[in-house]
Structure 1
Amino acid sequence: MPTPIPSTPISPLRQRMIEDMNMRRFSQDTQRDYIRDVGRFATFLGRSPDTATAEDIRQFQVDQQESGVPVPTMNSIVSALRFLFTHTLDRPDLARRLVHIPFRQALHLEAF
């Protein structure tokens, strides 16, 4: 099912990401979550995510951790950004910079 057309214009990058997700038959819920998570990153940057550097990614993840973002949320953001960098932007070098926290490690960190 195609994504409904919003009443306000969207950026070409967001449109491309939506098209990439549609080609892979992502659910509407996954698409909504990925768009939200990439938006969170863009807000942190204060500019388009297609201008991000490896240091921007590192700083974002440090900020999220220091802000107390729960591990499942952090991992969801990592998935969204990996999709963006790998598929939409063809920047797998940046996707490799993202740190996914295994659930087992998350339990250990929370107990610490």
Structure 2
Amino acid sequence: MSPLRARMIEDMSLAGLAGGTQKIYAQAVYRLTAHYRRAPDQLSEDEVRRYLLDLRERGVARGTFKTSQYGLQFFYRHTLGQDWGLFGGKKDRLAAAEAAA
């Protein structure tokens, strides 16, 4: 097990996530890693965004998309401490849109 995966599992345990949720979130990071054939901590916000867009374009089920999104959000926010706008909430997206206008 890689140190990053072990750290994510520890972080999910500390957050009180159920075992099934932990498994699904870890799989989301694994699929992202397999897609780019690079470690997830070496990917940019734009690459993760493009991956999520690719999932949408391939027509994955809504539940599959959401669990992938939430799993990646957990990994990048909690395990890596990234503060990416990609994973902002609705208020964050609205504020960004207003600032751009």
Fold conserved between structures, TM > 0.5: yes
Kept in 2, the 8 Å contact 1:17–1:88? The answer is yes
Deviations 1:25-71 (A, max 9, x none): 21110111111111111111211111111220121012111211112
Structure 2 counterpart of 1:49: 40
Partners in 1 of 2:11 and 2:87 — Cα distance? 20
Residues in 1 aligned to 2:59 and 2:77: alpha-carbon distance in whole angstroms: 27
How many residue pairs get aligned? The number is 89
Q: Which runs of 4+ in 1 moved over 3 A?
A: none
- 45-54 or 10-19: bigger deviation: 45-54
SS at match of 2:16: coil
RMSD of equivalent CA atoms:
1.6
* Identity across the alignment (%): 33
Q: Which has the larger radius of gyration?
A: 1
1:35 aligns with 2:35: no
TM-score by length of 1: 0.73
**Using the alignment, how far apart are the partners of 1:99 and 1:46 within structure 2?**
26
Whichever structure has more helix as a proportion of its residues is 2
Correspondence for 1:97 among 86, 89, 97 = 86
Larger RCO (CA within 8 A; separation ≥ 6): 2
